[in-house]
Amino acid sequence: MIDQLVQAIQKTKAPICVGLDPQMSFIPDTVKARAFEEFGETLEGAAEAIWEFNKAIVDATCDLIPSVKPQIAMYEQFGIPGLEAFKKTVEYCKAKGLIVIGDVKRGDIGSTSAAYAAAHLGRVMAGDREYAAFDEDFCTVNPYLGSDGVKPFLKECDAQDKGIFVLVKTSNPSSGEFQDRLVLVPSEDAEADGASSLLVTGKKEMTLHKLVKDADPELLKQYTVRPLYEIVGEKVAEWASEPRLIGESGYSEIGAVVGATYPEMGKKLRRIMPKSFILVPGYGAQGGKGDDLVPFFNKDGLGAVVNSSRGIIAAYTKEPYAEKYGPDGFADAARAAVKDMKKDIAQALKRL
Amino acid sequence: MIDQLVQAIQKTKAPICVGLDPQMSFIPDTVKARAFEEFGETLEGAAEAIWEFNKAIVDATCDLIPSVKPQIAMYEQFGIPGLEAFKKTVEYCKAKGLIVIGDVKRGDIGSTSAAYAAAHLGRVMAGDREYAAFDEDFCTVNPYLGSDGVKPFLKECDAQDKGIFVLVKTSNPSSGEFQDRLVLVPSEDAEADGASSLLVTGKKEMTLHKLVKDADPELLKQYTVRPLYEIVGEKVAEWASEPRLIGESGYSEIGAVVGATYPEMGKKLRRIMPKSFILVPGYGAQGGKGDDLVPFFNKDGLGAVVNSSRGIIAAYTKEPYAEKYGPDGFADAARAAVKDMKKDIAQALKRL
């Protein structure tokens, strides 16, 4: 699937995806009114409004873009009808030739992650028959539970020619709270020697001062101090390096999520994960700018796909689009915003 | 909601929940055959089998237990029909007087977490009307994105009298890969002084040896070295200490997930999060034993709720239940397994 994403990016000259995160406040009143008239002020009505809104956005932009990223939470909040709208959106986008990144951020212990992987990338059996539940092309995965929570997704990527993006450094303001924590990392040798346990066993509430005062200086040389997101990035690189998961483009089915709001970290992570595409949220409404995106790309102009959600789908609510298009022109405003985003990124990537 | 959980635990004398994780392989052939006969070998058929299986388990155990924990992945893999079975299961369990912990492990950036929180604990608006999508009593939350991913859940807990369990230390074998990483933690004073930035700014691939060689010894005294799960546990304790979220029982709506497979860590985390209930997975099939559970409880015999999934719902597949009950007696086997689990835990808690 990564090769298809690469081809679609090359064809559209746009390393972007449009985030289909249809908060009700983004949907013009006329669209909502039509849906509520048909289905009442019900979950079905809300889901219909979402679906009609998405469809118009997709119709207006699909020739310009390689991919979309529906955020399942925005659908899940409307229960079963909302999730039906999610499924319909996925199918419609795929029929329009778009690559669909399901932003689901799932992750659990092994057997449970296997069920999530089946739900979003794979197949399930009902008796002797096989079905696909949501069948996105890629999905996002939360790594907090470690390898055995991620491996079932790797397996589906291999079996179904799909891909994932693992959360490494997210775009939100408090992402650093855990992700940026400075971690003591033993060298491979130290780990093999059991040195890491020498350093920590039985030490409670140990200050750094006391820990290093008591320790063999040679042992201290075997530890580096690095932020957690780098450790997660290294794991992604390890998962991504599996030859069966690397496409003809040279890129792996296993990518990472790194927020546009942290370009310095993006630069480092770009080096740590050479085979991985980086899904970059946070452009536009969250504050990331075109120039911030350069470090996420490789010299070949590939290696990243930049998401914009409200900057595109709610473009009609903000200048310079609001005056020209207004609520009734929301789809045309989205098209104009996509064109501007493409220009902004193309301009920035000249610096590569 | 935490007070209702405490009352239900006291009434049933059982600090447990039954994990409704109906993998198809756990469902007896006769139940599947009936469902497939009615709905065909379809997602609807699979969902019907899940629902009939759950209903029988709940009917056979609901007078003995305070709570259930349906794992949404097992339903999500069967798409819309599967999620309908999830919703029906939640509603049925609530109607039977059980407290429902939705094991959904959601978590995202702020605005998206707000949608997840609405989906599972809260309400959404469709026009002027308010609906609840899945409406569990508690749900599980993944903290990897930090406070702004968790706060929307706290808000719903307050507004809707609901609760959450935040993943701190999960039960799976690779949970240590990131959760156990040793983190350099600045003291509050050091953080206020900007000392943490003194220690790290601009230092790349720094060995611990070099870092401490160059640093002021006084600064080193202001850092402790602790595993990441403790830092997450401290955040949970902070969220849990909000007075509006503390019930009459003295416990907070904000709890934590800590695996039964790591009792030593459970002991430490019990101290770190005094106001929080701990949801303890990993008992039974994953290897946790009754005696391992003691550290998760407070002296009052409260403070933890222990989950068993396949140990109960698939009891009929294993001795001592298999011979006595067989597949047709799966619900009675579940009841017997619940009774044995209660005895095992009651016995262990005598040590408190």
Chain mean pLDDT for chain B: 93
Question: Could you give the angle at the alpha carbon of B325 between the alpha carbons of B324 and B329, nearest 5°?
Answer: 165
Chain mean position to CA A38: 34
The answer to whether the CB atoms of A146 and B174 lie below 8 A apart is yes
In contact, B110 and B145? CB cutoff 8 Å = no
Instruction: Summarize the confidence of residues B221-242 as an average pLDDT.
Output: 94
Question: Does the pLDDT at position A95 exceed 80?
Answer: yes
Would the pLDDT of A195 be above 60?
A: no
Contact yes or no for B21 and A178 at CB 8 A: no
* Residues 85 through 144 of chain B touching chain A, CB cutoff 8 Å: 87, 105-113, 115-116, 118-119, 124-129, 131-134, 142-144
CA distance linking residue A70 with residue A82, whole number of Å: 12
Residue A42 burial (CB count, 10 A): 17
For residues A312 and B341, what is the distance between their CA atoms, to the nearest angstrom? 54
Q: What is the ipTM of this complex?
A: 0.96
DSSP state of B289: -
What is the per-residue pLDDT for A218?
A: 84
Cβ(B43)–Cβ(A126) below 8 Å:
yes
Reply yes or no on whether the pLDDT at B289 is more than 80. Answer: yes
Q: Which of A168, A197, A221 is the last residue of a domain?
A: A221
DSSP A232-299: HHHHHHHHHT-GGGB-TTS-BSEEEEE-TT-HHHHHHHHHH-TT--EEE--BSTTSB-HHHHGGGS-T
Q: How far apart are CA A107 and CA A311, in angstroms?
A: 28
Catalytic residue among B87, B88, B94, B105: B105
Determine whether the interchain pair A43/B124 forms a contact, defined as Cβ–Cβ distance below 8 Å. yes
Together in a domain, A144 and A203: no
In a domain, B225, yes or no: no
pLDDT at B216: 82
| Residue A282 backbone zone (phi > 0: left; psi -120 to 50: alpha; other: beta) | left
Q: Lowest mean pLDDT: which of A31-40, A157-166, B181-190?
A: B181-190
The pLDDT tens digits for B58-78 are 999 999 999 999 999 999 999
Distance of CA A317 to the CA centre of its chain: 25
Q: Give the CA distances from residue A124 to residues A111, A128, B52, B79, B141, in Å, rounded to whole numbers and listed in that order.
A: 14, 10, 19, 10, 26
Measured between CA atoms, how close is A3 to chain B, in angstroms? 26
Distance, in angstroms, between A249 CA and closest chain B CA?
30
Q: Which residues of A fall within a CB distance of 8 Å from B87?
A: 79-80
Residue B272: which residues within 8 A CB-CB, separation 6 or more? B230, B233, B234, B237
pLDDT tens by residue, A327-336: 999 999 999 9
Q: Is B278 helix (H, G, I), strand (E, B) or coil?
A: strand
Of residues B264 and B217, more confidence is placed in B264
A203 interfacial to chain B (CB closer than 8 Å)? yes
B97 pLDDT more than 80: yes
Tell me, yes or no, whether B190 lies in a domain. no
Instruction: Inform me whether the C-beta atom of residue B147 falls under 8 Å from chain A C-beta atoms.
Output: yes
Residue B314 lies in a domain: yes
Domain that holds residue A197: 188-221
Relative orientation angle of helices B228-240 and B147-160, to the nearest 10 degrees: 30
What digits encode the pLDDT tens for the residues A206-257? 788 888 887 888 888 888 889 999 999 999 999 999 999 999 999 999 999 9
Contact A24 B173 (CB under 8 A): no
Residues A108, A211 within the same domain? no
Judge whether B92 lies within some domain.
yes
pLDDT in tens, B235-253: 999 999 999 999 999 999 9
DSSP state of A25: G
Q: Which among B36, B178, B223 is the nearest to A127, CB-wise?
A: B36
Nearest CA in chain B to A127: B41
Contact B185, B147 (CB under 8 A): no
Both ends of chain A: CA-CA distance in Å? Answer: 25
Is the bond leading into A320 cis (omega within 30 degrees of zero)?
A: yes
Query: Does A112 contact B224 at a Cβ distance shorter than 8 Å?
Result: no
Choosing among A32, A43, A76, which should be mutated to test the B contact, i.e. which has the most B CBs within 10 A?
A: A76
pLDDT for B152: 98
Which pLDDT does position A321 carry in this prediction?
Answer: 97
Q: What's the total number of domains in chain A?
A: 2
Report the pLDDT value the prediction gives residue A236, as an integer from 0 to 100.
98
Q: How sure is the predictor about A194, in pLDDT bands with cuts at 50, 70 and 90?
A: low
Chain A within 8 Å of B200 (Cβ-Cβ)? yes
The answer to whether the beta carbons of residues B155 and B111 sit under 8 Å apart is no
DSSP string, B56-83: HHHHHHTTT-SEEEEBTHHHHTTHHHHH
Q: Which residues, numbered 21 to 40 in chain A, qualify as contacts with chain B under a Cβ-Cβ cut-off of 8 Å?
A: 21, 23-24, 32, 36
Residues near B258 by beta carbon (within 8 Å), at least 6 away in sequence: B168, B169, B265, B266, B269, B278, B279, B280, B296
- A226 DSSP 8-state letter: E
Is A172 within 8 Å of B145 when comparing Cβ atoms?
A: yes
**Cβ-based neighbour number of residue A4 at 10 Å:** 17
Q: What is the CATH number of the domain that holds A331?
A: 3.20.20.70
Which positions in chain A touch B179 (Cβ < 8 Å)? 144, 146
Q: Which residues contact B42 (CB under 8 A, 6 or more apart)?
A: A126, A129, A131, B81
Q: Where are the alpha helices (DSSP H) in chain A?
A: 2-12, 29-39, 43-61, 73-76, 79-95, 110-120, 147-160, 176-179, 188-193, 195-200, 208-214, 217-220, 228-240, 263-272, 290-293, 310-313, 321-325, 330-349
Q: Bigger pLDDT: A266 or A191?
A: A266
How high does pLDDT run on average in chain A?
93
Residue B228 in domain: no
In whole angstroms, give the CA distance from residue A304 to residue B259.
Answer: 37
Q: Looking at the complex, report in whole angstroms how far the Cα of residue B5 sits from the nearest Cα belonging to chain A.
A: 24
Q: Are residues A30 and A50 in the same domain?
A: yes
What mean pLDDT is predicted for residues A166-171?
97
Give the closest residue to A275 by CA, choosing from A244, A299, A303, A234: A303
Neighbours of B259 (CB within 10 A): 30
Read off the pLDDT of residues B100-125 as tens digits, 9 standing for 90 and up: 999 999 999 999 999 999 999 999 99
Comparing A239-253, B35-49, B142-156, B193-207, the range with the smallest average pLDDT is B193-207
Interchain proximity B127–A21, CB inside 8 Å: no
For residues A47 and A9, membership in a common domain is answered with yes
Q: Tell me if the bond preceding B320 is cis, omega within 30° of 0.
A: yes
A192, pLDDT greater than 90:
no
CB contact under 8 A, B107 and A77: no
Backbone phi and psi for residue B222, each to the nearest 5 degrees, phi listed first: -90, 5
Q: Which of A88, A96, A105, A318 is catalytic?
A: A105
- Residue A180 exposed, middle or buried by CB count within 10 Å (0-12, 13-18, 19+): middle
Query: In whole angstroms, what is the distance from residue A240 CA to residue A118 CA?
Result: 20
Interface of A with B in 219-278 (CB under 8 A): 220-226, 228, 231-232, 235
**Cβ–Cβ of A207/B228 closer than 8 Å?**
no
Count contacts between A and B (CB, < 8 Å).
286
Chain B hits for A142, Cβ within 8 Å: 105, 107, 142, 144
Would you say B285 and B310 are in contact if contact means Cβ atoms under 8 Å apart? yes
CB contact under 8 A, A181 and B176: no
Of B82, B159, B75, nearest in space to B117 by CA: B159
Mean pLDDT calculated for residue range A309-325? 96
Taking phi over 0 as left and psi of -120 to 50 as alpha, with beta for the rest, B303 belongs to left
In this structure, the number of other CB atoms found within 10 A of the CB of residue B218 comes to 10
Residue B32 known to be catalytic: no
Average pLDDT over residues B156-177: 96
Map residue B124 onto helix, strand or coil: strand
Question: How much is the pLDDT for A146?
Answer: 97
Does residue A234 sit in the same domain as residue A207? no
